[in-house]
Amino acid sequence: MNDHDVMKPAYERFTRHAAGQADEHSVDQTLDVPQATVRHPPSAVVVAHMLETSQLRADILARVYVNSHVFFEKLIIDVLLRMGYAGRRRDLSSHLGRSGDGGIDGMIVLDELGLDVILVQAKRLRPGTTVPISQVRDFVGSLEAHRAGKGIFVTTGHFSQAAHDFVAAVSRRVVLVNGTKLADIMIRHNIGVQVRETYQFKELDQLYFRQAPI
């Protein structure tokens, strides 16, 4: 059994759970309650969405983990461009993950003259694994060697508090992105996911009903 099989979500269990809650909390039960005076608990749809989003994070990290390190390095470049770095221009990004790169897996040029750059390191680890603080120190050292003022260290695992304290104390601007945050960014920007259903939740427009009579 591979790691993906171990981490594969029990998706059907969550959907059955959400369906059961939907039956118990029918919307019809609240139609005769004054909307302006009652705050309803999260609906069954909201609860189901929270459960599925949590499971989707695990799905994303499991799928990334079973892919190659090259896939992960290129994925991080895609994520940063989709977020708007380098004006989303592919020609201002580089994938550098190769032997002798000094731990630098990618570079995002923030201006056409190359006066400001972000260096990237992508560490594909089993979800739940902690990145050694020594690797964070090495990454900061690589920034200094490349005379870069900004760096992003991304992992499918997580960072210790000591690592966060360390980067907060250095002169370089370094951002640590753990697996949960990476998955949330991918979901928000629709990278590796697709919209299945969309719902609109509406409430009474109190101002409309307060209009002066004609």
| Tokens, residue 139 | 């990454």
In a domain, 189, yes or no: no
Residue 185 lies in a domain: no
Asked if residue 149 is part of any domain, the answer here is yes
Residues 45 and 117 occupy one common structural domain:
no
Same structural domain for residues 51 and 29? Answer: yes
| Bridge partner residues of 177 (DSSP) | 154
Q: What is the pLDDT of residue 100?
A: 53
Q: Are residues 84 and 97 in the same domain?
A: yes
Provide the 10 A C-beta neighbour count for residue 188: 11
36 with 104, same domain: the answer is no
Is-contact 131 158, C-beta < 8 A?
A: yes
For 93, the 3-state DSSP assignment is strand
Q: Judge whether 91 lies within some domain.
A: yes
CB 110 within 8 A of CB 86: yes
pTM above 0.95, yes or no: no
Do 120 and 85 share a structural domain?
Answer: yes
pLDDT in the model for residue 42: 73
Q: Tens of pLDDT along the chain (214 residues)?
A: 444 444 444 334 433 443 443 344 333 333 343 444 445 677 787 888 899 999 999 999 999 999 999 999 999 999 999 999 999 999 999 998 765 556 799 999 998 888 899 999 999 999 889 999 999 999 999 998 888 999 999 999 999 999 999 999 999 999 999 999 999 999 999 999 999 888 788 889 988 888 766 6
- Residues 105, 146: one domain? yes
Give the model's pLDDT for residue 73: 95
pLDDT at 212: 63
In this structure, the answer to whether residues 97 and 41 fall within a common structural domain is no
CATH code of the domain in which 110 resides: 3.40.1350.10
**Is the residue at 196 inside a domain?**
no
CA distances from 36 to 46, 68, 204, 208 (A): 20, 53, 8, 13
User: What's residue 18's pLDDT?
Assistant: 36
Does 186 reside within a domain?
Answer: no
Residue 173: in which H helix or E strand, if any?
Answer: strand 173-177
Domain identity same for 73 and 149? yes
- Specify if 214 maps to a domain: no
Could you tell me if 57 and 105 lie in one domain? Answer: no
Question: Do 149 and 90 sit in the same domain of this protein?
Answer: yes
**Do 115 and 205 have their domain in common?**
no
pLDDT at res. 9: 45
Q: Which residues of 74-108 are buried (b: 16+ CB within 10 A; e: fewer)?
A: bbbbebbbeeebbeeeeebbbbbbeeebebbbbbb
**Domain range enclosing 48:** 3-64+201-209
The answer on 130 and 37 residing in a single domain is no
Domain count for the chain, please give it.
Answer: 2
